[in-house]
Structure 1
Amino acid sequence: MINHYTLIIGSQKCGTTSLFNYLAQHPQIAPSSRKETNFFANDEDWERSLAWYQSLWQWDPEVHRTALEASPLYTFSQSTSAKATRRIASVDAQFKFIFIMRDPIEKIDSARYQGYYQGWLKPSETDEVPPRLIESAQYAKQLDEYAQQFGKDSLLLLRLSVLKHEPQACLQQVCNFLELQPHQFAALEKIHNARNSYREDTPWRKLSQISLLKSAADLVPDRYKNHLRQLLSQPGRSKKDEVPALTEAQRRSIQQALRPDLQRLRQEYGVDIFEWDIGWSE
């Protein structure tokens, strides 16, 4: 019976896959067999029962201190956050949460590329920044449900820039937060789930649409799937046109829309926001 979980709850497009794979190296951490379980936010998975959820780990109570998963869906919207926190609170176990952030404009731009190549963001929508992408970068709003339900002490807030430039120090901060032994992590120069992995015009995406292969993929550990994804995620010769870059007017609009949330992120959650392109200085 697993009694301690660590959930990487977001944010999307902010390095959750890399963080998950780095932490999976720690001998006291048991990684889930699939990175994104979505158990507490997806109704179909929730109905599979807690026993099914726990079966996603090869848990050894003599070795492991915490069970790790990473599901950015847990902070996708206010409704999914409320649903996820309510369900998590119903489980008789200890939970800690990790939330990683990046420059919100970079995050929104990354989401624009993903949406364009996956088809849920139409070319006409690249002229205006859809409200749902603005909401996806409202970090304080995403954190509120967890802070209210479990307390701020249960949350570790990280910045992607620190993970990229000071990875050992960043991961040691996680170890301290989880009360784990220090560990020397390896292969930290590798970026997991790079931009092209979500394009529709790559061999990886085409293979992933085959039902039989999709079912079989659930049985393959994420570390092997991630390696294969990297190899097969280069776009073909008939790639789509590139997504138009954000204009200065769009950047200013995003900055203004995010300002109240960023102010709360700094004041209520203590996040240093001034390394980001947010349009005003300290």
Structure 2
Amino acid sequence: MLPSFFIVGERKCGTSSLYRYLVAHPQILPCKVKEPNFFSKPWWKIVWGFKKYQSLFPALNQEGSIEFQWPELDENGRLFTETISVERQAHMPYITGEASVNTFYYANPRLVKWLLPDVKIILMLREPAERTFSHYRMLERFKKEGRKTISLQDFSTDMKIEMEKVRRGEESMVLSPSIYAKKLPVWLNLFGKDRLFIIRSEDLEDQKKAESIMKRLFQFLEVADFEMGDMLSQRFNVAPPKSIPEDIQQELVEFFDPYNKQLEDLLGVKLY
């Protein structure tokens, strides 16, 4: 099977929870790994490795249980991996998809469109300052665990440096992915609004809004309606809560204001 849907981003926006909600649907099968990060590779690796990528998804004639590896955080923010099993029943139409959430910012959407012309795109967004802070905390954890060799000072200092980089027209590691209006036009132009489903992560935190979103999302994916029940109250891959430092919070909000206005102009609706 090829993926029918693709959660392309953004990081630290609740995509893990959304993916678990989706694969709880009896017609939606998981990829073997949540984030293959395939389309963020160099183009030649994508072209030559596409068959291997396809092997990560269930076969059309596969029956029985399907297992996938799930990265999760414990209550202390430490990463562990568990194996989740999903049952596939006979005589039922299925779709599958994945959630490599660095795709929105780093991948070439033209390659996605070329190799997966019929795929539907799901994009989760979060208030930009909050997303930025959460992304930075993730990098701090990666550094502490030895998963990344990265130079970090403290959030306020590093964000002031990154804001100056962006003002000079340069890319920044943590701030730039929160400027959604920069990357979105290409995705919109290639896939169109009818194949792009945008979700505010804040809306999934409200039970009634979450139920409405999932109902519309199942319609978007062309699968049967499904009652999620208490599943929507669960959160996955969530770090312990922490507030943005007060000395930088307002400056970040003001920094993102013009970019949020660009996003509003692009979509015709105010998100942030």
Deviation of residue 183 (structure 1)? Answer: 0.4
1:164 aligns with 2:205: yes
Asked whether the 8 Å contact 2:152–2:158 carries over to 1, the reply is no
Q: Which amino acid aligns with 1:68?
A: G
2:233 paired residue number:
189
1:66 paired residue number:
95
1:114 aligns with 2:114: no
> If the length of structure 1 is used for normalisation, what is the TM-score?
0.70
* Structure 1 or 2: more strand by fraction: 2
2:50 paired residue number:
50
RCO higher in structure (CA 8 A, sep ≥6)? 2
> If the length of structure 2 is used for normalisation, what is the TM-score?
0.73
The C-alpha deviation readout for 1:87-144, integer Å capped at 9, x for no partner, is: 1122254111011111212111111211223233512454241342221211122322
Match of 1:123 among 144, 153, 161: 153
Asked whether the 8 Å contact 1:107–1:137 carries over to 2, the reply is yes
1:29 paired residue number:
28
Asked whether the 8 Å contact 2:179–2:259 carries over to 1, the reply is yes
The C-alpha deviation readout for 1:2-56, integer Å capped at 9, x for no partner, is: 3x52000111100011100110011222221101111111238625522212211
Q: Which runs of 5+ in 1 are unaligned?
A: 197-241, 275-282
2:178 paired residue number:
137
Asked whether the 8 Å contact 1:96–1:155 carries over to 2, the reply is yes
Deviation of residue 176 (structure 1)? Answer: 1.4
Q: 1:17 to 1:45 in 2, by over 3 A?
A: farther
Q: Considering only aligned residues, what root-mean-square deviation do their CA atoms show, in Å?
A: 2.5
Match of 1:149 among 190, 195, 211: 190
Separation of aligned partners in 2, 1:246 and 1:155: 34
2:261 paired residue number:
263
The C-alpha deviation readout for 1:30-86, integer Å capped at 9, x for no partner, is: 22110111111123862552221221111447534432100111123xxx24x2x12
1:179 paired residue number:
222
Deviation of residue 265 (structure 1)? Answer: 1.4
* Identical amino acids, percent of aligned pairs: 25
SS of equivalent to 1:123: coil
Asked whether the 8 Å contact 2:35–2:99 carries over to 1, the reply is yes
Separation of aligned partners in 2, 1:45 and 1:31: 23
Q: 1:24 to 1:247 in 2, by over 3 A?
A: same
Q: 1:144 to 1:25 in 2, by over 3 A?
A: same
1:210 paired residue number:
none
The C-alpha deviation readout for 1:199-245, integer Å capped at 9, x for no partner, is: xxxxxxxxxxxxxxxxxxxxxxxxxxxxxxxxxxxxxxxxxxx9894
SS of equivalent to 2:102: helix
SS of equivalent to 2:232: coil
Q: Which runs of 5+ in 2 are unaligned?
A: 62-90, 144-149, 164-171
Separation of aligned partners in 2, 1:118 and 1:244: 19
1:14 aligns with 2:13: yes
Q: Which amino acid aligns with 2:178?
A: A
SS of equivalent to 2:11: coil
Separation of aligned partners in 2, 1:266 and 1:65: 35
SS of equivalent to 2:237: coil
Match of 1:254 among 252, 260, 270: 252
SS of equivalent to 1:90: helix
SS of equivalent to 2:97: strand
SS of equivalent to 1:156: strand
Asked whether the 8 Å contact 1:59–1:67 carries over to 2, the reply is no
Asked whether the 8 Å contact 1:38–1:45 carries over to 2, the reply is no
Asked whether the 8 Å contact 1:172–1:183 carries over to 2, the reply is yes
Q: 1:102 to 1:16 in 2, by over 3 A?
A: same
